[in-house]
Structure 1
Amino acid sequence: MGVAIRTAGEQDRERVVRLLDAAFQDDPVSSWVFPGEEYRRTTHHRLMASFTDIVMADGWIDLTEDGAACALWLPVPADDHGGGADEEDDGPALVREAVDADNERVELIGRLTAGIHPSGRAHAYLWMIGVAPGRQGEGLGTALIGAVLDRCDRTGLPAYLEASSARSRTLYERLGFEAAGEPLALPDGPSMWPMWREPRTDTAT
């Protein structure tokens, strides 16, 4: 049976934020940004809300019809960075102010990922994908990503992401993503793996 997928609208914002908050509570990178379970439980959702708003404004969010999984995508033009920041970009600083002004890691994660984001070619950027904890392992994430990758193959568009765990990296490798440079080692924290996928021309129509 196929997975019903639709594009999330403004009416889905809170559902998406709650889903991402739950899905990433135990993620290694989220745990680094928000150390301590109580702190993460009370603050993490603010970062997910900021990410949701950014992607709803500049990209799109695919949501399974039952609300159990979502994927946040940004279209990145050539010679641009997807959702990242350079030294003159105040976007990460604004996110930090909105989430927790005292937590420099909220800003740092945006600047560090921008530093490894490839430029020069237009691509689809998978900012993040979340699956409800009780629904993982059902293939929802693969269905969400696969629908976009099929379009990428048809249009000749590459895709890019940063895997935040070894488990997710393995999933992305099965979908055709490959390492795009050295892993990003967060200061005193886990690693993130930049991954790039060339479109599969043999499936183009």
Structure 2
Amino acid sequence: MEHRESTQTPPLVVRPAAPEEFGRLLPVCVEAFADEAVSAWVEPQPGLRLDRTRELFETSLREAVDAGQLVVAFLPAGDAVAASVWIDLTEGAAEPPPPADDTTQHHATQATRATRATRRLATVLAATSARHPATPHVYLSAMAALPRRRGLGAGSAMLRHGLDRARRIGLPVYLEASTPRNRRLYLRHGFRDRGEPIHLPDGGPSLQPMWHPAGR
């Protein structure tokens, strides 16, 4: 279903991504999601973050597109500016290059970093999964706009689209806000805090679980 935000300048079109659009939308999702607080903690090196985000999330993004769970905000010309992932849970719950003569050490270092990122992602998933509501709900697992496209209202447009759908299917919506700014956006759209924040270790961000009774 397509949702047009006529009050935006320029107007945005919000709709689920089609499977055949995956190739052109993947770079948009990677760039948008890589700039978020959790991604920055998973891969602290800015120069590696785009590649690491793609490595860690390409498969799940493909699955989201195939399931109709990737909701994207487009400009009228068709350029994607933001993306979000809405999952129905109805069963319950940059650094300098290495010296030219040190290739082996460089590859070993890269492998170590990849392992660290994988471990940190597993930490995020374990911590958030432990707090998921047991009742059926829609999980807004990710939402972000391209850094150069922020300020267009894409976040609000995608929230309206997702909440409208949740009302139609009779389900509440759950998420974790990764920054105070994001939390304020969700509060404006009717979300409320659900319990204490989830504190990621090693200086990671605090994630605030939030709940919207959209299906009522």
Correspondence for 2:48: 39
> Does 2:147 correspond to 1:138?
no
> 1: distance between equivalents of 2:84 and 2:185?
14
SS in 2 for 1:138: coil
> Does 2:85 correspond to 1:76?
no
> 1: distance between equivalents of 2:186 and 2:80?
22
Contact map agreement 2:32 2:147 (CA 8 A) in 1: yes
Which residue identity lines up with residue 15 of structure 1 in the other structure? R
> Does 2:119 correspond to 1:110?
no
Contact map agreement 1:17 1:48 (CA 8 A) in 2: no
SS in 2 for 1:74: strand
| Stretch deviating more after TM superposition (17-26 or 136-145) | 17-26
Correspondence for 1:162: 176
Contact map agreement 1:178 1:197 (CA 8 A) in 2: yes
> 2: distance between equivalents of 1:41 and 1:55?
19
Q: What is the deviation of 1:58?
A: 4.6
Identity %: 34
Q: What is the deviation of 1:76?
A: 0.6
SS in 1 for 2:12: coil
* Cα gap change, 1:37 to 1:78, in 2 (>3 Å): same
Correspondence for 1:180: 194
Contact map agreement 2:193 2:211 (CA 8 A) in 1: yes
* Cα gap change, 1:200 to 1:58, in 2 (>3 Å): closer
> 2: distance between equivalents of 1:102 and 1:154?
41
Q: What is the deviation of 1:40?
A: 1.6
> 2: distance between equivalents of 1:59 and 1:9?
7
| Stretch deviating more after TM superposition (41-50 or 165-174) | 41-50
Which residue identity lines up with residue 190 of structure 1 in the other structure? P
Matches within 5 A, 1:1-205: 1=6, 2-58=11-67, 60-65=69-74, 66-80=79-93, 100-103=114-117, 104-119=119-134, 121-188=135-202, 189-199=204-214, 201=216
Q: What is the deviation of 1:44?
A: 1.9
> 2: distance between equivalents of 1:63 and 1:113?
24
For structure 1, the 5+ residue unaligned runs are: 81-98
Aligned Cα root-mean-square deviation (Å): 2.3
For structure 2, the 5+ residue unaligned runs are: 1-5, 94-112
| Stretch deviating more after TM superposition (68-77 or 146-155) | 146-155
SS in 1 for 2:80: coil
Contact map agreement 2:171 2:215 (CA 8 A) in 1: no
SS in 2 for 1:24: helix
SS in 2 for 1:128: strand
Q: What is the deviation of 1:54?
A: 3.6
Which residue identity lines up with residue 57 of structure 2 in the other structure? M
Contact map agreement 1:157 1:198 (CA 8 A) in 2: yes
Q: What is the deviation of 1:61?
A: 1.1
> 2: distance between equivalents of 1:76 and 1:141?
22
SS in 1 for 2:61: helix
For these two proteins, the number of residue pairs brought into alignment is 183
Contact map agreement 1:59 1:75 (CA 8 A) in 2: no
